[in-house]
Structure formats: C-alpha cells, structure tokens
Amino acid sequence: MLGYVIGAQRGAVDLLLSEVAAQLAARGWPLAGVVQINSETDPAAHCDMDLQVLTMENRVRISQRLGPMARGCRLDPQGLEEAVGLVERMLDRGPRLLLINKFGKAELEGRGFRPVIGRALAEGVPVLTAVNQANLAGFERFSEGMGTALPPDLEAVVDWCLAQAGNAERVA
C-alpha cells in the first residue's frame, strides 16, 4: 500500500505524479495530497517550488530565494508545514489515495509529510510518493519493506493505484 517512483530527470516525476492525480480525479477518485509545480524564474536562479493541494485551490510556496551565492537548502519549512496541515485535514474526508510529491530530507528527519504518510497507512489508505536516489536508503528504512518500487511510467503507476484501491476495499 506504499508505492514510490524514482525519478531520473529533474522535474520529470513531478509531472508524472501530476498526471496520475489528474487521471484519478477524472475517474472521480477522492484524493488527498500534493503535487509539485516548478516555475522557472531567472536562468541563473533555481526554480520556484510550489505544492498544489489536491482537490483544493490552495497552492503553497515551499521554496525560498536565498540569493545567487547561497548553498543551503532552499526548502521553506513554514511553507511545507502549511501544506502538511492542509493535507492532514484532507485525510478526515476518507480519500482513496494519498499522493505526496516527494519523500525528502524533511521526511527522513521525521518531519514534513512523514506523520501524514504513517497515519494514512495505519488507516488503510494507499500512499504514492516519489523518492530521489540520494534518499532511497532512508526511505527503505522508513518503509520497512512495505514499499513497492514503480517504474516512472504513467500507465504502470495508474495501474498500481487501481490495484491498491481494490486491495483497500477488501481490507476495509
């Protein structure tokens, strides 16, 4: 009930998960979660990162502009926690799937969407996320063998979601 995709190209998994969410929403699925939208700014600067909260109009900025010489993490922890709070409330509505844009550094440290993912799994809600190669070992420790690696292919990921929904209905 925990699927993940590893992206090879910058931004490719964000687009994939957005398309998965769109296809499932078109089927009438009640979803919870976020997808990431990257907006290019200046060619010399990093893109802006926003989280689109599924089934809501809320879009939350999760990146900070630190300046051209900055080397630190651009993640805005306040923006991330705002998105987490919105998604947590969505779980109360009984979604068919929790889709989280990325299991990243914050989740590795026990923050970010990690508690929401744990709650969803405990309540029998399938979870789909993305993991980058650098965080894969930490994700595997977190998932304790429950994670299913999925190819970065739209049809395969949607098929996995459909299969998990059937499994969740049998468990409930």
Per-residue pLDDT in tens (0 to 9) along the chain, 172 residues = 999 999 767 778 999 999 999 999 999 999 999 998 765 555 555 567 788 989 878 787 767 655 555 454 456 778 778 889 999 999 999 999 999 999 988 899 999 999 999 999 999 999 999 999 999 999 999 999 999 999 999 999 999 999 997 755 433 3
**Which tokens go with 132?**
């980058």
What gap in Å lies between CA 115 and CA 2, rounded to an integer? 14
CB-based contact 27:168 (threshold 8 Å): no
pLDDT at 47: 60
CB-based contact 15:167 (threshold 8 Å): no
Between the alpha carbon of residue 92 and those of residues 74, 119, 122, the distances in Å are 31, 11, 13
pLDDT at 60: 75
DSSP assignment of 79-92: HHHHHHHHHHHHHT
Fold classification of 2-171 is Rossmann fold (3.40.50)
What gap in Å lies between CA 35 and CA 40, rounded to an integer? 16
pLDDT at 85: 93
Instruction: Give the residue extent of every domain in the chain.
Output: 2-171
Choose among 115, 172, 168, 121: nearest CA to 145. Answer: 121
Centre a 10 Å sphere on the Cβ of residue 111 and count the other Cβ atoms it contains.
Answer: 15
**Which tokens go with 118?**
């744990």
Residue 17: its H or E element: helix 12-26
How is residue 47 annotated by DSSP? P
10 Å CB burial of residue 70 (0-12, 13-18, 19+) is exposed
